[in-house]
Amino acid sequence: MTACSDPFQTRASYRRFHRLQLLPRLNTIVLVHEGRAIDAGRLDELLARQPMFREMWRGYTSEASGDPSNRAA
């Protein structure tokens, strides 16, 4: 990836992400719950430490992969 195609490479940035596929590209993710920062780290670190975040990520990845077992009826 070149610097031109990655706006996060050379500066700090605050973003609210609804496109979860971008999370693996970030150096630090701040997990906010009910208006409070409850944890921060890389995706793998948050998945290891935060059950709520892990469940959200599993739901996203199963939907993204087309796994119907995790979709609401």
CB 29 within 8 A of CB 43: yes
* Residue 44 counted as domain residue: yes
Q: Which pLDDT does position 12 carry in this prediction?
A: 62
pLDDT score at 42: 96
Positions in the chain short of pLDDT 70: 1-18, 67-73
Number of domains within the chain: 1
**Nearest Cα to 57, choosing from 39, 65, 6?**
65
Which residues form the domain of 51? 19-64
Q: Would residue 8 count as lying in a domain?
A: no
Is residue 59 domain-resident?
yes
Asked, for residue 71, whether it belongs to a domain, the answer is no
Map tokens 């208006």 to a residue.
Answer: 35
